[in-house]
Structures are given as C-alpha cells and as structure tokens.
Amino acid sequence: MESKKTSRLQGVLSPVVTPFDHQLRPDAPRLIRHCRWLVSQNVGLAVFGTNSEANSMSVAEKRELLDALVEGGTPPDRMMPGTGCCAIPDSVELTKAAVRLGCSGVLMLPPFYYKGVSDEGLFRNYAEIIERVGDDRLRIYLYHIPPVAAVPITLSLIERLLNTYPGIIAGIKDSSGDWNNTRAMLEQFQPHGFDVFAGSESFLLATQRAGGAGCITATGNVNPGAIAHLGRTWQEPDADAQQAKLDATRAIFAKFPMIPALKAAIAHYSSDPEWTVVRPPLVELTPAQREELARNLNAAGFAMSGLPRPA
C-alpha cells in the first residue's frame, strides 16, 4: 500500500472520559466541551479508550459521538479513537468511520474475549481489519493492556505486523506497567518509525529520554497542562522535578478506582454533578470517597484551571 502523508500524533494524549446523563446516555455536548479544553491544554484525544468506558458503549453510540465531535469542531488530526472490538465487523466499522472523518490514527485493542489465543490468530485479526478498511490513510496504534484485556501483544506479533504493514502499523500504547517491556519496544521498534507511547505519565520522562513518542494517560483528563508541559520540556533541567510532581498528583487519584475518580474530580472542579455518572459495571465514588479525593487534591494545591462549566 502507498502511504500518504498524515500529521503524526506525538506527545501527550488522554483517553477522554465519556460523560453520561442520569439515564446513562452519552452526552455529546459535554464531551465536546471537555475535548476542547484538553486540546487547549495541548493534550491529544484518545477518545474511546479504557478510561472512556468505550467497551460499555455500542458501536452505534460511538459512531454518533465521533460524528458529533468532528461536527462540533473537535480537530480530527488530534484524535486517536479506540476502535478495537471483539468482533472484526465492529472493529472495521469503527475504524472506517474514524479514517473517513480524518482521525490521525486509531488505538486498537486485540479481540479480548478469548484468552490464550495465538499470535497467529491475533495477526489474522489485525490483517483482516486492515484489508477490509483498505485505506492508505489508516494508522494503527496497537493497544497492549494485559491487566485489563488479558490478551497481550507480544514483541514477535509487533514485528510481524510491522513487516507486513509498514506505515499502517504506526505505534503502540504500552499499558503493561512493565518498563522492561516498554524499553524493549523502544529499542526494537521505535527506530523503525513505530511510535511507542507509555500507558501513563509515570513513564513519560523515561519514554521521552529513550526516544519514544510520549504517553497516553488517564490523568491527562484532569492534569493535562502539567503532563503536556513535561512532554514538551523533558530536556530541561527541571524535568525530574516535573516528573516527581506529576507522580504525586497521580498518586492521589490512584487511591481510588481511576475512572470514577477522574469523573468525580471533573464534577467537583466544574461544579457539574452529572460528570460523576458511570455506566455499569463501574460504580461511581461514594460521597465519602468524593470528599476525600477533593480534600486530598485541595491539600496538594491541585486545580483544573479553565475547566468548562455546564452550558
């Protein structure tokens, strides 16, 4: 396949949390406002990630949100929607929609129902999707998140995909939490134009220093400016101090279930309680947890400046 030039995603992205109303319906206007704020903070938009509750939405709901985002002025060249589903027809439909809307890339989970599947089977899954989408603009970022998907993407699978579909296979998000694995990907594949994103800002500085592309991080939803700043200034003398400060903020969130905690923080700082809603099987924080989170964040001098308020 000939490869056309597209803008390359770099730096810090966030798996954008998805607002739901009290009837559990996706709330496009709130999502658009949140995305606009993230972009203003120099954070890219990995909508439909794990922290977006993407797998708690139907394909139709995700397509509607994607259309609404682009129609609402969200820049597709800053977007890397998650499009990997268990069923190939679903992955193809979402990926086609993302490519046609001009998204710079897609973040693609492996099919995650069956466990212990072979690299051959996972290769066939990605190959089938690539062939069916059949578009030179497609840029796939593989999504390695064994703690949740429980279906890992091995180094040998990456190598085979990269050899078979150079240009199309554009990189990876490594959410293994295992720096040895991230480092192996950085050494083995980053020199071949395969962009390695760490799965959280905990590894941002280390990833940048090893030549990686950046990170895609849940807490980018709430602390975007500071994380993106380190992404741009990692060669400055204060980089280690910046990293330590990011780690301290992340640690406050990490004491709670991450997705409900992110939403609780957004609800708190925007005075917008609708943001606390999550879809089952997730459960929102209890009032006591919300208070504890807010207290800890306030004590740390945390702020979310410019966060949009309800319309």
Residues within the interface to its own copies (CB under 8 A): 24, 50, 55-61, 86-90, 93, 110-115, 117-118, 120-122, 124-125, 128, 147-151, 279-283
Rounded Cα distance between 287 and 289, Å, is 5
Nearer CB in complex with its own copies: 148/244: 148
Structure tokens at 52: 């977006």
Is there a contact between 212 and 186 (Cβ–Cβ < 8 Å)?
yes
CB 4 to its own copies: min, Å: 27
Nearer CB in complex with its own copies: 68/117: 117
Is there a contact between 39 and 242 (Cβ–Cβ < 8 Å)?
no
Rounded Cα distance between 104 and 145, Å, is 21
Nearer CB in complex with its own copies: 1/24: 24
β-bridge mates for residue 26, sequence order:
20
Nearer CB in complex with its own copies: 78/144: 144
Residue written as token pair 């709430």: 222
CB 151 to its own copies: min, Å: 8
Cβ neighbours of 57 (radius 10 Å): 18
Nearer CB in complex with its own copies: 124/192: 124
CB 209 to its own copies: min, Å: 31
- φ and ψ at residue 197, rounded to 5 degrees: -105, 130
CB 106 to its own copies: min, Å: 17
Rounded Cα distance between 164 and 129, Å, is 13
CB 266 to its own copies: min, Å: 20
Burial (CB count <10 Å: 0-12, 13-18, 19+), residue 289: middle
Nearer CB in complex with its own copies: 113/295: 113
**DSSP result, 236-255:** STTHHHHHHHHHHHHHHHTT
CB 51 to its own copies: min, Å: 11
Strand blocks (E) in the chain: 11-14, 44-45, 106-108, 140-144, 169-174, 195-198, 214-216
CB 279 to its own copies: min, Å: 6
Q: Would you say how long the chain is, in residues?
A: 311
Nearer CB in complex with its own copies: 30/62: 62
Quick one: DSSP state of residue 257?
A: -
Structure tokens at 253: 């969130």
Nearer CB in complex with its own copies: 75/146: 146
CB 250 to its own copies: min, Å: 19
